[in-house]
Amino acid sequence: MNLALRDIRYHRGRFILTAIGLGLLIGVVISMGGIYRGLFADALAVFDSTKADIWVVQQETNGPFAENSRIPEDIKYRIQAVPGVAEASPLSFQTIQIERLGKPFRFFLIGYDPNGFGGPPEIIAGRNIRQKHYEMVVAEAMGKELGEKIHLGLNDYTVVGITGKVVSSGGDPAAYVSLADAQEIQFKKDNNAIRNDRERIAANLAGLQTLSPTQSKFLQQNITGITESTHTVNTIVARLAPGADLREVQERISRWNHFRPISAEEQTRILTKGMIEKARMQLGLFRLILLVISAVIISLIIYTSTIDKIKVIATLKLIGAQNRVIIGMILQQSLLMGVIAYAIGYVLILLTYEKFPRRIVLEAFDLQALFVIVIAICTISSFVGIRKALKVEPAEALGG
């Protein structure tokens, strides 16, 4: 006869409530782990979907995610010409905030060259961008339908495709437009500012007495070009040809001034170590604290349930029950509590994790490790109860 199960059957209300409470706690621990993993996945989402070997950014920056980086778009031709580079493509990034249902809504706009790479990693509905202008592919999380129009800058952009879970490192959903459109949204939306710039520079030039009228006119024309130049991007990504040596290619690019070639490995480090380090530590610590709390609660539950059973344990000893009967009763109950609470927590998160505002990534390893930890906590906690139980004297069964 299994005494642990009989006791649970008799006190099922209490047991179920306790298991649910513990299950919620374990659910929070699981979701913490998932958020922790999600943080990585989010931080690396654009990086991963680009599948570039080298990220060429402005010198002395950790761009384009951690720091602002600006480089001319036409550098891509020079990079493409570097031996060992198979292809190079420009990318631009900007965070855009729009008004949606009366609330601010932020998303991450990626401009890419439809003839290059770095575009949507997959199309789960609709199609990819085909025209040079006014088409858009959005991440699922944008909550947009195919055919919907979004007004950005001076124009309307039509959603032609939906992609998966691409987000900025801050967790904002991503949208893709052609590079030309992205530049237009970024630079042309403020015509007044450009006009002001142009006038300010022209006025300065006009004040320079040393210039001849011809020189002055020539400069003015060029300044218009400079201030209106929208051919700036945040990074140029490159893929290596098979067998090419990463170091060599990096060195070649480094030799030109003004550009820094960041390898995929370095970029991963910048994204995961630098950018989310604090959040990561915070979550890790939080998770640890929750585990300690769970351990304390489980110990308390088992200890009190043992105290409740002192008389039962004394009676069992008196009628000659072996220690294993008593240890088994406490240990099995504790383990059962752990397993059921874990199952409740797991199912809870499984049913809800997609509804969390930030990405939750449930990794089999994390789940298994937590299960092992929960079982270990239950086993260790039950030692407290078992120790108490083994000290109970059969004589305690006597008397009122």
Partner 1 sequence: MYAVEVERLTKIYGKGETTVTAIADATLRVKPGELVAILGPSGSGKTTLLTSIGLINEPTHGRVIIDDTTVADEGWLPGLDLKRIRREKLGFIFQAHNLIPFLTAQENVMVALEINNLTRNNAKVRATELLNSLNLGHRLGSYPSVLSGGEAQRVAIARALANRPKVILADEPTAALDTENGKNVMNLLKKLAVENRSAILVVTHDHRMVEGFDRIFHVSDGRITNEKQRVEAGGTHGLG
Q: Is 320 in the site for partner 1 (CB under 8 A)?
A: yes
C-alpha span between 363 and 371 (Å, rounded): 12
Pairing between strand 125-126 and 135-139?
unpaired
244: buried, middle or exposed (CB in 10 Å: 19+, 13-18, 0-12)?
A: middle
| Stretch of 187-195, 278-286, 320-328, 351-359 lying at the interface with partner 1 (CB under 8 A) | 320-328
- Which residue in the set 115, 191, 322, 368 belongs to the binding site for partner 1 (CB under 8 A)? 322
Whichever of 102 and 400 has its CB closer to partner 1, that residue is: 400
Q: How far is the CB of 342 from partner 1 (least distance, A)?
A: 24
Q: Judged by CB under 8 A, does residue 400 bind partner 1?
A: yes
Sign of the CA dihedral with 288 first, then 290, 295, and 299 last: positive
Dihedral-angle region of residue 203 (phi above 0 means left; psi in -120 to 50 means alpha; beta otherwise): alpha
Name which of 219 and 321 has its Cβ closer to partner 1.
321
Work out whether 395 is an interface residue with partner 1 (CB under 8 A).
yes
**Of positions 39, 71, 316, 377, contacts partner 1 by CB under 8 A:** 316
Could you say whether residue 332 binds partner 1 (CB under 8 A)? no
Q: What is the largest CA-CA distance in the chain?
A: 117
Binding mask 17-36 for partner 1 (x = CB under 8 A): --------------------
The CA distances from residue 186 to 97, 106, 114, 153, 245, in Å, are 12, 15, 18, 8, 35
Determine the interface stretch with partner 1 among 66-74, 116-124, 243-251, 307-315 (rule: CB under 8 A): 307-315
Instruction: Count the residues of the shown chain that bind partner 1, applying the rule CB under 8 A.
Output: 25
Query: Rule CB under 8 A: is residue 146 a binding residue for partner 1?
Result: no
Least distance from C-beta 8 to partner 1, angstroms?
Answer: 8
Please tell me whether residue 319 binds partner 1 under the rule CB under 8 A: yes
Instruction: Check binding of 1 to partner 1 (CB under 8 A).
Output: yes
Residue type, 49: S
Radius of gyration of the chain (CA): 32
Task: State in angstroms the smallest separation of the CB of 399 from partner 1.
Answer: 7
Single-letter amino acid code for the residue at 12: R
Question: Which residue from 221, 226, 235, 299 is spatially nearest to 267, judged by alpha carbons?
Answer: 235
Residue 318 interacts with partner 1 (CB under 8 A): yes or no: yes
Of the candidate residues 195, 200, 258, 311, the single one contacting partner 1 (CB under 8 A): 311
CB-nearer residue toward partner 1: 207 or 320? 320
Q: Does 312 bind partner 1 (CB under 8 A)?
A: yes
Structure tokens at 247: 């170091």
Q: Is 310 exposed, middle or buried (0-12, 13-18, 19+ CB in 10 A)?
A: middle
> Could you write out the DSSP letters of every residue in 129-184?
--SSSSEEEEEGGG---TT-EEEETTEEEEEEEEESS-B-TTSPBEEEEEHHHHHH
What residues make contact with partner 1 under the rule CB under 8 A? 1, 3, 6-7, 9-11, 311-312, 315-322, 325, 393-395, 397-400
